[in-house]
Amino acid sequence: MTEWYHEDEVCWVADCEVCDVPMVVWREHGPTPPDEAVEHMVARLTEVADWRFGEGKWSLDRVMRQIPDHFHAHARDPDWWYRRFSR
Residues lying near Zn ion in the complex (CB under 5 A) = 16, 18-19
Question: Considering beta carbons, is residue 19 or 75 the nearer one to Zn ion?
Answer: 19
Closest distance to Zn ion from the beta carbon of 31 (Å): 16
- By DSSP bridging, strand 22-26 and strand 59-61 are unpaired
Closest to Zn ion by CB, 36 vs 53, is 53
Q: Please report how close the Cβ of residue 74 comes to Zn ion at its closest, in angstroms.
A: 5
Sequence-ordered alpha helix ranges (H) in 1-87: 35-53, 80-86
At its nearest, how many Å lie between Zn ion and the CB of residue 66? 6
Lateral strand order in the sheet of 59-61: 4-7, 11-15, 22-26, 72-76, 59-61
Could you give the maximum distance between any two Cα atoms of the chain, in Å? 38
Question: Which is closer to Zn ion, CB of 11 or CB of 16?
Answer: 16
